[in-house]
Amino acid sequence: MKLNSIQPVGPTAPASPAIGSDKPKEGAPSFDQMLNRATQGQTSPTETASTQAAAPLGEIRAPMPPIAAGALSPSPTAERTVALLNLIEDYAQKMENADVPLKEIESLVGELGTLATELTASLGDEPDPHIRELAEQSAALAGIEAVKFRRGDYI
C-alpha cells in the first residue's frame, strides 16, 4: 500500500497566512511606527484610554518610597524572638541526632525556658502586633518543649 498524501482527521483550522505577509489595515500605523512613537513618548490621537495609561518605555520607578535608615533597626522583642527561634532550631537539630546525649540537651532546655520567660515579659513594650503575635507563639512553643523534655516525653 502506497501513501500519496496525509489527510488530517477532524475539523481543520482556516489556513493562516505566511509570516510577514500580513499587511496592516488601511490607515493603521505599522509596528515600526508604533514602536518609534512608544520609545519617543509620542501618542497618536486614535489610541484608546487603556493604551494611554501604559507608561512609555524607559525609566522603571520604585513602587514605594525609600525607607528611612532608622526604621530598619529591629525592636528588642524582635531580637529576642529571633534568638529564641534560633535556639529552638538548635534544640530540634540536637533532638534529631541520636548521638547527642540528653544531658547535653538539658542545658539548651534551660536556656529555652529562660528566653521564653524574658520574651513573655517584654511583650507589653512591643507596638507591632505582628511581632507581638510571633513572639507569643515562639515563647509558647519554647515553654511547651521545655515541659515535654522535663516530663520525660522524649525518653
Residue 94 amino acid letter: K
Q: At what angle do helices 76-96 and 129-151 cross, to 10 degrees?
A: 30
Q: Is the dihedral of CA 87, 89, 90, 91 positive or negative?
A: positive
Q: Between 146 and 31, whose confidence is greater?
A: 146
The pLDDT value given to residue 49? 47
Q: What is the mean pLDDT of the chain?
A: 76
Which pTM was predicted?
0.52
Q: What is the pLDDT of residues 77-125, one digit of tens each?
A: 888 999 999 999 999 999 898 898 888 889 889 999 899 998 888 888 8
Q: Between 61 and 95, whose confidence is greater?
A: 95
Taking the C-alpha atoms of residue 61 and residue 55, their distance in angstroms, rounded to an integer, is 10
Domain locations in the chain as residue ranges: 74-151
- DSSP letter at 73 equals S
Q: What is the pLDDT of residues 7-19, one digit of tens each?
A: 666 665 555 555 5
Element containing residue 120 per DSSP (H, E): helix 102-121
All three cell numbers of 18: 505566511
Share of the chain above pLDDT 90, in %: 20
